[in-house]
Structure 1
């Protein structure tokens, strides 16, 4: 499984030019929580659909536990993203987190207004979409975040990889400020638990 197909992509919205939620408000929202949990539905670039549970612990940590029959696992932690294949006894594929668009929202301090990361930003009365890209490394692809207002809430994100493939993750109700142990995001610990070498 390729990392971009496991960590997000895009429903392209035709949104009016006027944004409902400002860039500053979005930054404040992302900086307003350190931990979060939500159920998710993922739509892959080939049209297949999977579901699971997402855990986030900023900075730099996320975990995607996929439901059966997939039963896959993706962990972001320690500066790496590891994709575990449930039917293989081989070590996971690993990628630097810094080379994935997910890194842009897992940073310790998200400052979208001054970063040069905002590619597109628009909304209407029901939702706002903002597309982010690392200005120094556009080859890493981009991430589109979709929010609803009152209060500002992240509803989905879409990752477009360097080849143009898109993966969409639609979130259920997100709980923030939840207790999440560091072991959930520890790739070496997961490897040991599975009897795999690092």
Structure 2
């Protein structure tokens, strides 16, 4: 379809609006750009406050890898920096953070991996020093009730990228509920986590963020 045919199929008002958009002085677009930037800054600040307002959060989750494989479980979060992914019975592993390090425990192979939370894409969620207002950018969404924040440190690409999705909810801390996130690590491995059945404010003991080390059972006594 050529340009003339395309224009003939548009209402006259739409064509005129398009022409005005082309011919308006560039200086008149500045207030619009400024308003957009201010709105994005407000959304970023709101999302940051909402995360910081969470004392504890428990929710059911589904985790999907880049191949489409999905597992489920229960998430427990306690600020600052503590999180636990308790997987379904068929998945014999655990992911837990004690506020300093994120630990992956694989009981099937008796293996434990640890790394500082700041070095993980989850640092955007867990590390109180990973300031979203400094490293985050607001991404466009299809809904006025959804805020998408992309968090990355341009000076430390090895930390990966995390995209946090918030939904307006007056009952959630800060008026925003963390609905899902997509983590992309430095090896370009993508993981999507979706939350539901959020519960806030319950007392969560320190023991929830500890784990049984599977390597100890294989060590020789003494």
Aligned partners of 1:62 and 1:77 also within 8 Å? yes
Q: Whose Rg is larger?
A: 2
Alpha carbons 1:43, 1:169 under 8 Å: kept: yes
1:71 aligned onto 2:92: yes
Contact persistence 1:54–1:65 (CA under 8 A): yes
* SS of equivalent to 1:92: strand
Answer whether contact 1:27 1:112 (CA < 8 A) is retained: yes
Name the SS for the 2:132 alignment partner.
coil
- Provide the rounded CA distance (Å) in 1 between the counterparts of 2:218 and 2:205: 22
CA distance in 2, matches of 1:192, 1:139: 29
Q: Is 1:191 matched up with 2:209?
A: no
**1:1-198 alignment runs, 5 A limit:** 22-88=43-109, 90-108=110-128, 111-113=131-133, 115=134, 117-123=135-141, 124-151=143-170, 152-187=176-211, 190-191=212-213, 195=217
TM-score by length of 1: 0.78
Displacement after TM superposition at 1:110 (Å): 6.6
Residue 148 to residue 196, structure 1, CA distance change in 2 (3 Å): farther
Contact between 1:51 and 1:66, CA under 8 Å: does it hold in 2? yes
CA drift at 1:66: 0.5
| Mapped contact 2:124–2:132 kept (Cα < 8 A) | no
Q: Within 2, Cα distance between the matches of 1:163 and 1:62?
A: 23
Q: Relative contact order (alpha carbons < 8 A, sep ≥ 6): 1 or 2 greater? A: 1
Using the alignment, how far apart are the partners of 1:195 and 1:181 within structure 2? 25
How many residues in Structure 1 have an aligned counterpart in Structure 2?
Answer: 177
Tell me the secondary structure at the aligned position of residue 96 of structure 2: strand
> Of Structure 1 and Structure 2, which has the larger fraction of its residues in helix?
2
Q: Matched residue of 1:26: which SS?
A: helix
TM-score (norm 2): 0.70
Q: How far did 1:141 drift?
A: 0.8
Q: Following TM superposition, by how much is the alpha carbon of 1:120 offset from its aligned partner in structure 2, in angstroms?
A: 4.1
CA distance in 2, matches of 1:194, 1:174: 35
Distance, in Å, in 1 between the alignment partners of 2:72 and 2:105 is: 16
List runs of 5+ in structure 1 lacking aligned partners: 1-16
Distance in 2, Cα, partners of 1:30 & 1:81: 18
Cα distance in 1 for residues equivalent to 2:130 and 2:46 = 11
Distance in 1 (CA, whole Å) between partners of 2:67 and 2:97 is 23
